[in-house]
Amino acid sequence: MWTAGFRTAMISPYEPIRFSEPRGFADQTLRQRIHLAGGGESIRVRLSNRYGRTPLTIGAATAGTGHRLAALTFGGIGKLVIPPREEAVSDPVDLPVAAGADLTVSLYLPGETGLTTYSHMALETARTAAGDHTASATLPDEERVAGRFIVSGVDVLAPDDTAVAVAFGDSWFEGVGTTPGADRRSVDLLNRRLDRGWVVNQGLSGNRLLVDGVGEHALARFDRDVLAIPGVTHVLVFLGINDLVLPRMYGAAPATSGELIEGFTALAARAHDAGLRILAGTIGPFGGATYEGLSTPEGLAARREVNDWLRGTTAVDAFFDVDRAVADPGAPDRIRPDLDAGDGMHLNDAGARAMAASVDLAELG
């Protein structure tokens, strides 16, 4: 079956709230490393102009791993124009890939793209160079750009019984705080624990469960980012921090514990209606947040109330206790110092490992 070997959650470059700068390109080759969660006998590459305002022209495209490079075609043609708000999937390519392998995708963008659809906190560095170098091993006079652009996923042709789960959440899944380019996100480390199947990462930094802010809120993007993946069997959810803290940055009221519980219940019902098992992570500590005004007694109390509910509810199939895995025993509303990325709000590499270890693999069986 065709299923997701890689996914990345993307936002509009015109979002009023974002944590990195968007980019446009013109007469440039854009080359990106894609770390695959899963493998298969063939691949298809997904390109997105979902949030673009002008047609996106792809002059040429290639994908490669190791010493093998293949041209990408779309309906048998090497060139493609993706209209605004649309996506495209390449023709299948006979290019066997393994779980954990790196795929290099190169796109030649001949015209002015305008600002492109992108993953704003991907912890990856794209490379660009003037002209078409999609078939070249190196890029001359390359420029390095933080972020992931246009490439929204890679499909793989895998056995029909492959177990595929989706990590659906915010920056704690996307990996903010971990070493860029090192594949030490909690989802990467969870994949290394699995004996069968894999988890694709749809974490989106700043994303909320209930309200649009950075990207569409989780309840709005659930169909596209989870249910649309063929063969998906499980969804792991980690959300809630941004509902409790980000509204304060803009003078809005944060979510209440009751509203978050209603949101998790609705998300669980939609997962169950689609035949998926849902695992929900307890909301991590943020009492030491260095961002002024984000950590409040009210927000921390709501966090504890939601976590108590998650540990006892039957609305979800299981929970993974991120909170207890990373909290400071002497100050349980704070991240343990050796697991803190330095801002009191995100996990470092060791913290991401502890988060990954909090998932009971038997629940993914």
pTM of the model: 0.96
User: Which residues on neighbouring strands pair with residue 71, listed in sequence order?
Assistant: 62
Which whole number is the average pLDDT over 194-202? 96
Question: Of all residues in the chain, what percent carry a pLDDT higher than 70?
Answer: 100
Digit-coded pLDDT (tens) for 76-106: 999 999 999 999 999 999 999 999 999 999 9
Dist. CA 214–CA 226, nearest whole Å: 18
Q: Is 220 helix (H, G, I), strand (E, B) or coil?
A: helix
Write down the domain spans for the chain.
17-155, 163-364
- pLDDT at position 213 is 85
Digit-coded pLDDT (tens) for 177-188: 999 999 999 999
Query: Does 292 have pLDDT greater than 80?
Result: no
The superfamily in CATH containing domain 163-364 is SGNH hydrolase (3.40.50.1110)
Query: Does 203 have pLDDT greater than 90?
Result: yes
- pLDDT at position 64 is 98
Query: Does 62 have pLDDT greater than 90?
Result: yes
- pLDDT at position 215 is 94
Digit-coded pLDDT (tens) for 96-143: 999 999 999 999 999 999 999 999 999 999 999 999 999 999 999 999
Digit-coded pLDDT (tens) for 271-284: 999 999 999 999 99
- pLDDT at position 101 is 97
Query: Does 293 have pLDDT greater than 80?
Result: no
Dist. CA 173–CA 13, nearest whole Å: 21
Query: Does 37 have pLDDT greater than 80?
Result: yes
Question: Residue 158 has what DSSP assignment?
Answer: -
**Spatial contact of 278 and 268, defined as CB atoms under 8 Å apart:** yes
Dist. CA 331–CA 327, nearest whole Å: 7
Which whole number is the average pLDDT over 20-24? 93
Digit-coded pLDDT (tens) for 224-273: 999 999 999 999 999 999 999 988 877 789 999 999 999 999 999 999 99
Digit-coded pLDDT (tens) for 305-359: 999 999 999 999 999 999 999 999 999 999 999 999 999 999 999 999 999 999 9
Query: Does 191 have pLDDT greater than 90?
Result: yes
Report DSSP letters for 93-151, one per residue.
Answer: B---B-TT-EEEEEEEE-S---SPPEETT-S-EEEEEES--TT-SS-TT-EEEESEESE
Dist. CA 325–CA 350, nearest whole Å: 11
Which whole number is the average pLDDT over 27-49? 98
